[in-house]
Structure 1
Amino acid sequence: MNSKSATSIFGWLCSLLVAASAQAQAPLPAAINTDPIKTSELLLPLPANPKLPTLLLIGDSTVRNGRDDGQGKGAEGQWGWGTPIAAAFDPARVNLVNRAIGGLSSRTYLSGGHWQRSAALIKPGDTVLIQFGHNDASAINDSSRARGTLRGVGPESQEIDNLLTLQKETVYSYGAYLRRYIAEIRALGATPVILSPVPRKRWDEQGKITRSTDKGYAGWAAEVARQEQVGFIDLNALAAQRYDELGREAVMQLFPQVTPDESTHTNWAGAALNAQLVVAGLQRLKALPPTFYAAKADERPVVDAAKVAKQSARDPSLPTLHIVGDSTVRSAGQNGAYGWGERLDPFFDTRRINLVNHAIGGRSSRTFFTEGRWESVVAQLKAGDFVLIQFGHNDGGRIGDPAMKGRASAPGVGPETVTDTKPDGSQEQVHSFGWYLARYIADARAKGAAVVILSPIPHKDRWADGRDFEQFAAWGEQVAKQGGAQFIDLTLLISDAYKAVGVAKVQEFFSDARTHTNELGASFNAARLADGLGKLPGSPFEPYFSKPSTGL
Structure 2
Amino acid sequence: MTHTLFIAGDSTAAIKGASEKPMTGWGEFLQSYYGKSIKVENRAINGRSTKSFLADGRLAAIEQDFQAGDYLFIQFGHNDEKKEDPSRYTHPDTEYRHNLIQYIESARQRGGTPVLLTSCSRRLFTTEGKPDPLAVGPYPAAMRLVAEETQTPLLDIFEASQQLYDTLGDEESMKLFMHLPKGAHPNYPSGVEDNTHFSEEGARQITKLVVHAIEQSTDLPLLELKELLQ
User: Would the TM-score normalized by the shorter structure come out above 0.5?
Assistant: yes
Pick from 105, 109, 114: which aligns with 2:49? 105
Give CA deviations for 1:405-428 in whole Å, capped at 9, x if unaligned.
xxxxxxxxxxxxxxxxxxxxxxxx
Question: What's 1:60 paired with?
Answer: 10
Question: Using a 3 Å threshold, how does the CA distance of structure 1 residues 226 and 137 change in structure 2: closer, same or farther?
Answer: same
Name the aligned partner's letter for residue 116 of structure 1: A
Asked whether the equivalents of residues 213 and 219 of structure 1 are also in contact (C-alpha less than 8 Å), the reply is: no
Name the aligned partner's letter for residue 287 of structure 1: P
Determine the C-alpha separation between the residues in 2 that align with 1:109 and 1:293: 32
SS in structure 2 at match of 1:256? strand
Asked whether the equivalents of residues 122 and 136 of structure 2 are also in contact (C-alpha less than 8 Å), the reply is: no
Determine the C-alpha separation between the residues in 1 that align with 2:51 and 2:169: 35
Determine the C-alpha separation between the residues in 2 that align with 1:178 and 1:83: 23
Q: Does the alignment pair 1:80 with 2:25?
A: yes
Asked whether the equivalents of residues 178 and 199 of structure 2 are also in contact (C-alpha less than 8 Å), the reply is: yes
Determine the C-alpha separation between the residues in 2 that align with 1:293 and 1:270: 25
Asked whether the equivalents of residues 212 and 219 of structure 1 are also in contact (C-alpha less than 8 Å), the reply is: no
Name the aligned partner's letter for residue 283 of structure 1: E
Asked whether the equivalents of residues 124 and 135 of structure 2 are also in contact (C-alpha less than 8 Å), the reply is: no
Give CA deviations for 1:432-487 in whole Å, capped at 9, x if unaligned.
xxxxxxxxxxxxxxxxxxxxxxxxxxxxxxxxxxxxxxxxxxxxxxxxxxxxxxxx
Determine the C-alpha separation between the residues in 1 that align with 2:209 and 2:113: 19
Question: What's 1:246 paired with?
Answer: 168
Q: Does the alignment pair 1:282 with 2:214?
A: yes
Normalising by the residue count of structure 2, what TM-score does the alignment of the two structures yield?
0.88
Question: What's 1:119 paired with?
Answer: 63
Determine the C-alpha separation between the residues in 1 that align with 2:196 and 2:79: 11
Structure 2 unaligned segments of length 5 or more: list them.
181-190
Question: What's 2:185 paired with?
Answer: none
Number of equivalenced pairs: 218
Give CA deviations for 1:235-273 in whole Å, capped at 9, x if unaligned.
111100111111222201111232442010011111111
Asked whether the equivalents of residues 70 and 78 of structure 1 are also in contact (C-alpha less than 8 Å), the reply is: no
Determine the C-alpha separation between the residues in 2 that align with 1:283 and 1:115: 27
Determine the C-alpha separation between the residues in 2 that align with 1:140 and 1:124: 39
Determine the C-alpha separation between the residues in 2 that align with 1:271 and 1:122: 26
Question: What's 2:204 paired with?
Answer: 272
Name the aligned partner's letter for residue 113 of structure 1: G
Question: Using a 3 Å threshold, how does the CA distance of structure 1 residues 215 and 292 change in structure 2: closer, same or farther?
Answer: closer
Question: What's 1:150 paired with?
Answer: 91
Name the aligned partner's letter for residue 52 of structure 2: T
Pick from 99, 102, 122: which aligns with 1:177? 99
Report % sequence identity: 29
Determine the C-alpha separation between the residues in 2 that align with 1:244 and 1:198: 14
Normalising by the residue count of structure 1, what TM-score does the alignment of the two structures yield?
0.38
Determine the C-alpha separation between the residues in 2 that align with 1:252 and 1:275: 17
Asked whether the equivalents of residues 94 and 292 of structure 1 are also in contact (C-alpha less than 8 Å), the reply is: no
Determine the C-alpha separation between the residues in 1 that align with 2:141 and 2:225: 32
Asked whether the equivalents of residues 53 and 93 of structure 1 are also in contact (C-alpha less than 8 Å), the reply is: yes
Question: What's 2:195 paired with?
Answer: 263
Structure 1 unaligned segments of length 5 or more: list them.
1-50, 155-172, 297-552
Q: Give the RMSD, CA atoms, in angstroms.
A: 2.1
Determine the C-alpha separation between the residues in 2 that align with 1:215 and 1:133: 8
Question: Using a 3 Å threshold, how does the CA distance of structure 1 residues 214 and 102 change in structure 2: closer, same or farther?
Answer: closer
Question: Using a 3 Å threshold, how does the CA distance of structure 1 residues 287 and 214 change in structure 2: closer, same or farther?
Answer: farther
Give CA deviations for 1:288-345 in whole Å, capped at 9, x if unaligned.
124566566xxxxxxxxxxxxxxxxxxxxxxxxxxxxxxxxxxxxxxxxxxxxxxxxx
Asked whether the equivalents of residues 161 and 209 of structure 2 are also in contact (C-alpha less than 8 Å), the reply is: yes
Name the aligned partner's letter for residue 138 of structure 1: K
SS in structure 1 at match of 2:209? helix
Determine the C-alpha separation between the residues in 1 that align with 2:225 and 2:203: 24
Alignment of 1:90-489 (within 5 A): 90=35, 92-139=36-83, 146-152=87-93, 154=94, 173-212=95-134, 216-258=138-180, 259-285=191-217, 286-290=220-224, 294=228
Give CA deviations for 1:83-120 in whole Å, capped at 9, x if unaligned.
11221111x11111100011110011001111100111
